[in-house]
């Protein structure tokens, strides 16, 4: 038996009820500040169409044979949604993109799932994305308040990754979720000064605990302990290796108490070469998306990366051409006036211009093998430094 659906006529007839108050039994007060209004409606329609209004109807008591509901939704927005609940129509083409934005979040509040899904897809059409970009902070704040807005959240995250300066310069740190911050810091192609990132992370952490004073010099030991717990998932993602020694001592050392002691000691060894510290240096993330080299191409880098990843997978390091350090604590030579240097002159990169000045030299002292047989001073065209960390 065939069925014919007469939805257009049904929608037309139900639309008449919006202006027919003879059987209405609900008064809805809505609006904000000076823009307020009241709407009469039918409880049966509201009960069937909106989960939120259904709960309000069940818990409110009648006054003068009418149920009263208060909402905090703009008048024009609610008028459009009330019409939609009666006839299933929403004329988006006659609304501004901001008015549609208001309808989207009001629909989420009222539980109008079908409309929410439709408007989200409408927003993400190419010709609306520019408006989303221009109103990025507003969209970002709103979308992350609703778990169901995954598509809008992903759009915001993609914008942040393409324009990371938005996070540091435009976005309120308190509005960023921990998951978003972690995803941002894990990116391999970030081109932001690590100190700017560190300052943002500090602001973000402080915003998560309103009890903390904005001036860390006034914090107690318990304050630092609490702050460290807030940042425990974030700290391992900070690229400390991109900081200068001065930056580290000025900006990181005041927060020493938030680090695990072993981790902090290993980082300090990198910057200050403290002889008493034993153990391996903790390696923080390295930016992989940027290759600035005159010696190797991205293809070469991929081959080197592949070779490094083979270590620990059954390869015999003793048969590899590797020079091991013999004296603990002398593997790396840190001096302000030197480039990357190793041991006691095992390889020393010296001079203001490595390519033109012949001031670099090698002499076997702290490593098992000679790095260079010739003892004469030499210049460098370029150099690459790689660090390997065993994954446990």
Q: Which residues 6+ apart lie within 8 Å of 99 measured at CB?
A: 76, 77, 80
Q: How far lies 84's CA from each of 119, 122, 141, in Å?
A: 13, 17, 26
Q: Which has the higher per-residue pLDDT, 62 or 353?
A: 353
Query: How far apart, in whole angstroms, are the C-alpha atoms of residue 148 and residue 259?
Result: 35
- Tell me how far the alpha carbon of residue 308 is from its chain's centroid: 29
Instruction: Identify the CA nearest to 50 among candidates 135, 107, 134, 117.
Output: 107
Query: Domains plus CATH for the chain?
Result: 1-89 (3.30.710.10), 164-290 (no CATH), 294-392 (no CATH)
SS3 59: helix
What is the rounded average pLDDT of the residues 14-37? 87
Query: How far apart, in whole angstroms, are the C-alpha atoms of residue 56 and residue 67?
Result: 9
Q: Name residue 332's beta-bridge partners.
A: 342
pLDDT value, residue 223:
93
Share of the chain above pLDDT 90, in %: 20
pLDDT value, residue 247:
85
Residue 120 confidence (pLDDT) above 90: no
Q: Which has the higher per-residue pLDDT, 191 or 199?
A: 199
């Amino acid at each position: 038996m065939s069925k014919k659906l007469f939805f257009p006529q049904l929608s037309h007839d139900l639309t008449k009820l919006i202006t027919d108050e003879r059987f209405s039994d609900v008064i809805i007060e809505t609006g904000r500040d000076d823009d307020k209004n009241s709407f009469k409606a039918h409880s049966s329609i509201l009960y069937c169409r909106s989960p939120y209004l259904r709960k309000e109807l069940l818990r409110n008591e009648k006054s003068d044979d009418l149920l009263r509901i208060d909402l905090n939704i703009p008048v024009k927005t609610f008028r459009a949604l009330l019409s939609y609940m009666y006839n299933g129509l929403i004329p988006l083409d006659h609304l501004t993109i901001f008015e549609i934005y208001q309808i989207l979040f009001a629909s989420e509040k009222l539980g109008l799932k079908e409309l929410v899904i439709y408007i989200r897809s409408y927003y993400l059409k190419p010709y609306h994305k520019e408006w989303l970009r221009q109103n990025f902070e507003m969209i970002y704040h709103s979308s992350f308040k609703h778990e169901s807005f995954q598509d809008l959240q992903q759009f915001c995250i993609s914008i942040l990754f393409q324009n990371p300066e938005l996070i540091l310069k435009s976005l309120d740190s308190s509005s960023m979720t921990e998951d978003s911050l972690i995803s941002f810091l894990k990116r391999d192609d970030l081109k932001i000064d690590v100190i700017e990132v560190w300052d943002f992370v500090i602001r973000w952490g402080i915003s998560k605990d309103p009890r903390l004073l904005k001036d860390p010099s006034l914090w107690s030991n318990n304050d630092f302990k609490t702050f460290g717990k807030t940042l425990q998932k974030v700290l391992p993602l900070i690229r400390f290796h991109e900081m200068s020694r001065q930056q580290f001592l000025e900006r990181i050392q005041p927060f020493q108490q938030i680090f695990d002691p072993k981790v902090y000691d290993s980082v300090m060894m990198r910057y200050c070469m403290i002889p008493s510290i034993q153990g391996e240096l903790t390696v923080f993330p390295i930016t992989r998306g940027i290759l600035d080299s005159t010696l190797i191409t991205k293809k070469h880098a991929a081959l080197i990366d592949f070779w490094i990843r083979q270590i620990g997978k059954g390869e015999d390091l003793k048969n590899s051409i590797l020079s091991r350090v013999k004296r603990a604590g002398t593997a790396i030579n840190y001096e302000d006036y030197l480039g990357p240097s190793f041991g006691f002159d095992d390889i020393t990169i010296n001079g203001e211009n490595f390519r033109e000045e012949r001031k670099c030299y090698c002499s076997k002292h702290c490593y098992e093998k000679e790095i260079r047989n010739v003892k004469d001073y030499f210049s460098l065209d370029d150099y690459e430094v790689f660090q390997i960390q065993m994954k446990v």
